[in-house]
């Protein structure tokens, strides 16, 4: 097609036809069409994503934490959540940053991974 004589619509139709001729259909069975879901939160001002299948719950920081003597500074303590003991870890401090200054936006992400359940204290959950 000669661009000097073709209209803009004809050029676009030609591009579309050539593109469609080169496309391939990906079968969902190959896993390419499946969706990934995650939860966004901030650690030290950096946006991080956690897989939704590993986050079982999002909690407000419990008001009563039992301190663990001799524990690292990033171990905030143990919380009793509906009769289950949950270690609360300050993720920012664990990664080498300053401990989180908790506020009304602070949350605990309850993470289940390889049969271990832990609460990760984060500064802000974004969805």
Per-residue model confidence as pLDDT tens digits over 83-117: 999 999 999 999 989 999 988 989 999 998 888 89
CA angle at residue 108 from 75 to 53, to 5 degrees? Answer: 115
CA distance 37 to 90: 24
The 10s digit of each residue's pLDDT in 23-79 is 766 565 655 556 778 889 988 888 888 888 889 999 999 989 999 999 999 999 999
Contact 117, 111 (CB under 8 A): yes
Cα gap 73→112, rounded to integer Å:
22
Domains of the chain: 38-125 (2.40.50.180)
Is the model's pLDDT at 10 over the cut of 60? yes
| The pLDDT of residue 26 | 58
The single-letter DSSP state of residue 65 is: -
DSSP state of 6: S
Rounded to an integer, what distance in angstroms lies between the CA atom of residue 112 and that of residue 110?
7
pTM exceeds 0.85: no
């Amino acid at each position: 097609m000669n661009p000097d004589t073709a209209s803009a619509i004809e050029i676009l139709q030609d591009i579309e036809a050539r593109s469609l001729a080169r496309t391939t259909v990906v079968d969902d069975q190959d896993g390419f069409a499946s969706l990934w879901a995650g939860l966004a939160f901030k650690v030290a001002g950096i946006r991080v994503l956690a897989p939704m299948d590993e986050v079982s719950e999002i909690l407000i920081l419990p008001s009563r934490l039992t301190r663990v003597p001799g524990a690292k500074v990033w171990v905030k303590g143990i919380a009793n959540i509906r009769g289950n003991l949950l270690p609360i870890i300050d993720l920012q401090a664990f990664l080498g940053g300053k401990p989180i200054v908790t506020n009304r936006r602070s949350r605990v992400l309850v993470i289940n991974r390889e049969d271990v359940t832990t609460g990760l204290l984060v500064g802000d959950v974004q969805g």
